[in-house]
Amino acid sequence: MTDLLVSVYPWTKALHVISVIAWMAGLFYLPRLFVYHVESVETGSETDRLFQVMERKLLRLIMNPAMTATWVFGLCLVFTPGIVDWSAMWPWAKAGAVIAMTWFHHWLGYRRKDFAASRNTRTGRRYRLMNEVPTVLLVIIVISVIVRF
């Protein structure tokens, strides 16, 4: 199995980067949709239903598959011999940030369900603040992987 992982390493890394980009796009866009939804849309209106469709499709058709692919290809990279030195700090920092990113993804999923049930209690300001979470985590991940401290 390890020979296979070594031989497909460049493809695994490429697919991991592609899936991360797709996941990050959704993590940046969904909270922004929530801001517009809470600030500009009347509950129960046609626009409310349109936002709910957009939010559901973004989460289910783009973000969930991208997150899953990110995890699958990322774990393949972790198990490829010679790629991760667990005695260093960087893989632990990256792992913590990826787990936090996954938590944020699920938090957004619960917020989408709040909108669908007409029970959202958060403000546009709250969603704007939460929109910074993936940026901070992205900085931690990229610096961890590239600088390898």
Phi, psi (deg, nearest 5) at residue 148: 50, 60
- pLDDT tens figures, 68-122: 999 999 999 999 999 999 999 999 999 999 999 999 999 999 999 999 999 999 9
Q: Which CATH topology does 2-147 take?
A: Four Helix Bundle (Hemerythrin (Met), subunit A) (1.20.120)
User: Cβ of 43: how many Cβ atoms within 10 Å?
Assistant: 11
Instruction: Please write the tens of the pLDDT for every residue from 122-139.
Output: 999 999 999 999 999 999
DSSP the chain: -HHHHHHTHHHHHHHHHHHHHHHHHHHHHHHHHHHHHHHH--TTSHHHHHHHHHHHHIIIIIIHHHHHHHHHHHHHHHHSTTS--TTSSHHHHHHHHHHHHHHHHHHHHHHHHHHHTT-----HHHHHHHTTHHHHHHHHHHHHHHH--
Tokens of 1: 């199995």
pTM of the entire structure?
Answer: 0.93
Segments making up each domain of the chain, as ranges? 2-147
